[in-house]
Amino acid sequence: MEVVKPSFARGYKWTVRDSRGNFFIDVEDEPFLNQVQEGKISFTKGDILRTRLVTETWRDDSGALRSRYVVKQVTEIVHARKPEQSALPYEEKPKPKRQFKLDDD
């Protein structure tokens, strides 16, 4: 799953995306969350998490089907490939010559 919006506050849901679209997850992998909090793990646009994901499904009081997605363990982080920056064409222009005018006193 691709990280769309991580939550750096405990207890809040993350937004992720897969082939079906965006959805919310609860992350319960404490060692992973600790590393995120300590700055040992960082995210950039397009990073992918490989996880052990549990889907909990039930019917609510009205009979509607509900689901909750819980990451039990993050097994791998695949960082998005950074595009290589190409060199811009740069033509060195000659520096202007300094002109000094001497006062004739």
For 2-67, the DSSP string reads: EEEE---STTPPEEEEETTEEEEEEE--HHHHHHHHTTSS---TT-EEEEEEEEEEEE-TTS-EEE
User: Is 95 within a domain?
Assistant: no
**Number of domains the chain contains:** 1
User: Is 41 within a domain?
Assistant: yes
User: Is 83 within a domain?
Assistant: no
**pLDDT means per 10 residues in the chain (105 residues)?**
91 94 96 93 88 96 95 93 66 64 59
User: Is 105 within a domain?
Assistant: no
Give the Å distances, CA to CA, from 94 to 18, 19, 91, 97.
53, 54, 10, 9
d(CA 33, CA 30): 5
User: Is 18 within a domain?
Assistant: yes
Residue recorded with tokens 């793990």: 41
- Is the pTM higher than 0.75? no
- Residues of the domain holding 33: 2-78
d(CA 24, CA 17): 9
User: Is 89 within a domain?
Assistant: no
User: Is 96 within a domain?
Assistant: no
User: Is 99 within a domain?
Assistant: no
| Predicted local confidence at residue 8, as pLDDT | 86
